[in-house]
Amino acid sequence: MVANEFWAEGEPVVDKAAPDGPVETRWERRKFSAKLVNPANRRKLTVIVVGTGLAGGSAAATLAEAGYKVKSYCYQDSPRRAHSIAAQGGINAAKNYRNDGDSVYRLFYDTVKGGDFRARESNVYRLAQVSVNIIDQCVAQGVPFAREYGGLLDNRSFGGTQVSRTFYARGQTGQQLLLGAYQAMERQIGLGNIEMNARHEMLELIIVDGKARGIVVRDMVTGEITTEFADAVVLASGGYGNVFFLSTNAKGCNVTASWRAHRKGALFANPCYTQIHPTCIPESGSHQSKLTLMSESLRNDGRVWVPKRAEDCQKPAGEIAEEDRDYYLERIYPSFGNLVPRDIASRAAKNVCDEGRGVGPGGLGVYLDFADAIKRLGRKAVEAKYGNLFEMYERITGEDPYETPMRIYPAVHYTMGGLWVDYDLQSTIPGLFVVGEANFSDHGANRLGASALMQGLADGYFVLPNTISNYLAAGPFPAVSETDAPVVEARKEVEDRIARFLSIDGDRTVDSFHRELGQIMWEYCGMERTEEGLTKAVGLIRALKEEFWTRVKVPGKGEELNQNLEKAGRVADFLELGELMCIDALHRRESCGGHFRAESQTSDGEALRHDDEFSYAAAWEYFGADGKPTLHKEDLNFEYVHPSTRSYK
């Protein structure tokens, strides 16, 4: 049995902070039962926040407003540049401003179902409850949401729902929400309540007497290594999509903060749940450094097709006759057509390309054709709706989508897995809290559109500030000193690792390893996974890891701005994470949400869940001495939304 070869199984993990009783009163009761810290005592307590995106920025600002001392860290040159800034579509909230039957319960229901019944009901319900406060908060900060002529907020609808609950600011919702949080943060920085450390990277977690008490950071400008102490540590360091090298994430996005915490004992849950977005601009060559998302809204009017015959793929699109085109989404999913959910559309694109019917360089692309829409609505109308997206496409590809169909291909976009947290958003290490994409909590196996921004801000503005007090009420904790053994040790680990990177002086660049890891992950742990492929991938990654530590070449010194040294640390961690992702994917012998196992499908090729066996979150303990990660299961119970099969035919 593969299990014994690749992983061990330990005791189940239990969410001890989980409230019971009626789902709609759980959050209120948790807030009431949580211990408080009186305002005069808050200034004696320090909280470290790593990351300044929607979750970290909103958490830092809110904690500082409450009176705590906050120390904030980000790798970018300003907190305003965190990757939340790139989110396009919108943010969900159960305001029911449209009077179209929306409610907290419906948002809860849609999110549990959209997550393919692999998320906790209590957490998701709370998310839906606080969603309405987020919109109020952002409007008060001056976020310029789209409005109607009457001056009230506009909404649009998104995939996986039947109501209009998405608030948006043109195609730049993430930017506007992040600037709101950033500005609130800057106000607190100006008031001296937040100590901001931009261009600083967390490289290790410091645990003293079993509690998270600080971090080791590297000043990315001078290379200086320092140890920073606090009463609690909050990780808001984002997702790990860059394990694939090519993704829609920013180049700097990495798993290091989470992974260092994982190595120190924090469980990592559901690492294999990866969201692959169907509408991205395909790779154009070996120089490709990242992929760009084209808004999902394009599928409202664009028709997806490939040639029926592989031999037509080299011809220009215009020379392929109508009857020789395969509008495969419309053919396979007649009722949803081009608007099937992200995971379905992505896998269908992969299938036609695997059949040799892909278009463009390398045969890795499908057409998204607006010819019919232009004929039906006129070019002007299409321009008004999608003009900025068409422009972006042309800038990147040099092709005019009004004349020739766009080429699109799926790309890694978001990771649902992350550090395991309880209802209070506390990890398995006391005093270590995890918010936003970095935790695993709310999206199950698949995230719905416009829900990432909602979760990041829910965690940072409303959830964490109310739960962390329960922990901090026992503080301030005894002072930590530079000379304490765990601090000395953590610092030494960081210094030794940097010295090792610089001393290998091999013959391959960091990027070449990252690219190769990405290819392995994409091939075997991407849109379709098999036992055979995943087993092979684990072997390939182990070999690559060994090669990395003997052949990598990191130029320069540690005591300077050294971007390759930064990358080396991140890639070393991605190599370990990649192996765990494959093992998680291997152990989950079912298909659910963003995880499709070829062995587990219906007779017509759709995802097949096995609720009897896999209705749990898989929380992994770091590879022990025998080199195997240990699986701790957290059982999921569905009292309100009963698991059913998703169908889009």
Partner 1 sequence: MDIKVRVWRQSGPTAGGKMVTYDVKGISPDASFLEMIDVLNETLILNGDDPIAFDHDCREGICGACSMVINGVAHGPEKATTTCQLHMRKFKDGDVIDVEPWRAAAFPVIKDLVVDRSAFDKIIQAGGYITAPTGTAPDAHATPVPKKDADAAFEAATCIGCGACVAACPNGSSMLFTAAKIAHLGLMPQGQPERDSRVIDMLQAQDDAGFGGCTNAGECTTVCPKGIPLSLIGRLNSDYRKAISKR
Residues that are catalytic: 342
Q: Find the binder of partner 1 among 19, 56, 57, 79 (CB under 8 A).
A: 79
**Does 16 engage in binding with partner 1 (CB under 8 A)?**
no
Q: Find the binder of partner 1 among 29, 43, 170, 309 (CB under 8 A).
A: 170
Least separation, in Å, of the C-beta of 225 and partner 1? 18
The smaller minimum CB distance to partner 1, of residues 22 and 556, is found at: 556
**Does 176 engage in binding with partner 1 (CB under 8 A)?**
yes
- State the first-to-last Cα distance of the chain, in angstroms, to the nearest integer: 36
**Does 388 engage in binding with partner 1 (CB under 8 A)?**
no
Least separation, in Å, of the C-beta of 295 and partner 1? 12
Q: Could you tell me which residues are beta bridge partners of residue 166? A: 92, 156
Q: Which of 336, 443, 393, 385 is nearest to 117 (CA)?
A: 443
The smaller minimum CB distance to partner 1, of residues 182 and 259, is found at: 182
The C-alpha atoms of residue 236 and residue 569 are separated, in whole angstroms, by 19
**Does 78 engage in binding with partner 1 (CB under 8 A)?**
yes
The smaller minimum CB distance to partner 1, of residues 297 and 427, is found at: 297
What is the separation of C-alpha 579 from the centre of its chain, rounded to a whole number of angstroms? 18
Least separation, in Å, of the C-beta of 32 and partner 1? 16
Q: Find the binder of partner 1 among 41, 284, 404, 601 (CB under 8 A).
A: 284
Least separation, in Å, of the C-beta of 506 and partner 1? 10
Least separation, in Å, of the C-beta of 39 and partner 1? 13
Q: Which of 474, 415, 426 is nearest to 123 (CA)?
A: 426
The C-alpha atoms of residue 499 and residue 342 are separated, in whole angstroms, by 43
Q: Find the binder of partner 1 among 71, 80, 113, 587 (CB under 8 A).
A: 80
Q: Find the binder of partner 1 among 474, 499, 561, 598 (CB under 8 A).
A: 561
Least separation, in Å, of the C-beta of 484 and partner 1? 32
Least separation, in Å, of the C-beta of 560 and partner 1? 7
Q: What is the DSSP string of 399-456?
A: --TTTS-EEEEEEEEEE--EE---TTSB-SSTTEEE-GGGB--SSTT-PPTT-HHHHH
- Cα-based torsion angle of the residue sequence 560, 572, 240, 235 in order, rounded to the nearest 10 degrees: -60
Q: What is the DSSP string of 233-282?
A: EEE-----GGGGSSSSS-TT--SHHHHHHHHTT--EE-TT-EEEEEEEPP
Report angle CA 349, 351, 352 to the nearest 5 degrees: 70
Using the rule CB under 8 A, give the single segment among 287-295, 375-383, 423-431, 534-542 that binds partner 1: 287-295
The smaller minimum CB distance to partner 1, of residues 78 and 647, is found at: 78
The pairing of beta strand 46-50 with beta strand 232-235: parallel
Least separation, in Å, of the C-beta of 557 and partner 1? 10
Contacting partner 1 within 562-621 (CB under 8 A): 563-564
**Does 397 engage in binding with partner 1 (CB under 8 A)?**
yes
The C-alpha atoms of residue 552 and residue 510 are separated, in whole angstroms, by 6
The smaller minimum CB distance to partner 1, of residues 62 and 427, is found at: 62
The C-alpha atoms of residue 331 and residue 640 are separated, in whole angstroms, by 35
Q: Which of 11, 51, 35, 39 is nearest to 456 (CA)?
A: 51
Tokens 């992929």 appear where? Answer: 291
Contacting partner 1 within 407-436 (CB under 8 A): none
**Does 393 engage in binding with partner 1 (CB under 8 A)?**
no
Contact indicator for 541, 585 with CB cutoff of 8 Å: no
The smaller minimum CB distance to partner 1, of residues 141 and 530, is found at: 141
The smaller minimum CB distance to partner 1, of residues 143 and 267, is found at: 143
Contacting partner 1 within 81-120 (CB under 8 A): 81, 83, 85-86, 95, 97
**Does 198 engage in binding with partner 1 (CB under 8 A)?**
yes
Q: Find the binder of partner 1 among 5, 9, 28, 77 (CB under 8 A).
A: 77
Using the rule CB under 8 A, give the single segment among 263-271, 503-511, 571-579, 587-595 that binds partner 1: 503-511
Residues contacting partner 1: total by CB under 8 A: 80
Using a 10 angstrom Cβ sphere, with 0-12 exposed, 13-18 middle and 19 or more buried, the burial of residue 604 is exposed
The C-alpha atoms of residue 622 and residue 267 are separated, in whole angstroms, by 7
Q: Find the binder of partner 1 among 155, 175, 600, 615 (CB under 8 A).
A: 175
What is the separation of C-alpha 49 from the centre of its chain, rounded to a whole number of angstroms? 18
**Does 385 engage in binding with partner 1 (CB under 8 A)?**
no
For 135, the token pair is: 């919109």
Least separation, in Å, of the C-beta of 407 and partner 1? 12
The smaller minimum CB distance to partner 1, of residues 47 and 205, is found at: 47
| 3-class DSSP string for 560-579 | CCCHHHHHHHHHHHHHHHHH
The smaller minimum CB distance to partner 1, of residues 12 and 361, is found at: 361
Q: Find the binder of partner 1 among 288, 602, 644, 645 (CB under 8 A).
A: 288
Binding track, positions 332-371, relative to partner 1; x by CB under 8 A: ----------------------------------------
Least separation, in Å, of the C-beta of 173 and partner 1? 11
Work out the widest C-alpha separation in the chain, in whole angstroms.
76
The C-alpha atoms of residue 176 and residue 5 are separated, in whole angstroms, by 48
The C-alpha atoms of residue 285 and residue 240 are separated, in whole angstroms, by 23
Q: Find the binder of partner 1 among 214, 449, 465, 593 (CB under 8 A).
A: 465
For 271, the token pair is: 């690492």
Binding track, positions 115-154, relative to partner 1; x by CB under 8 A: ------------------x-xxxxxxxx-xxxxxxxxxx-
The smaller minimum CB distance to partner 1, of residues 133 and 601, is found at: 133
**Does 509 engage in binding with partner 1 (CB under 8 A)?**
yes
The smaller minimum CB distance to partner 1, of residues 139 and 364, is found at: 139
Q: How many residues does the chain have?
A: 649
Q: Which of 167, 170, 175, 140 is nearest to 57 (CA)?
A: 175
The C-alpha atoms of residue 162 and residue 645 are separated, in whole angstroms, by 18
Helix (H, G, I), strand (E, B), or coil: what is residue 325?
Answer: strand
Q: Find the binder of partner 1 among 39, 314, 395, 627 (CB under 8 A).
A: 395
Least separation, in Å, of the C-beta of 89 and partner 1? 13
Q: Find the binder of partner 1 among 398, 485, 503, 603 (CB under 8 A).
A: 398
Contacting partner 1 within 469-498 (CB under 8 A): none
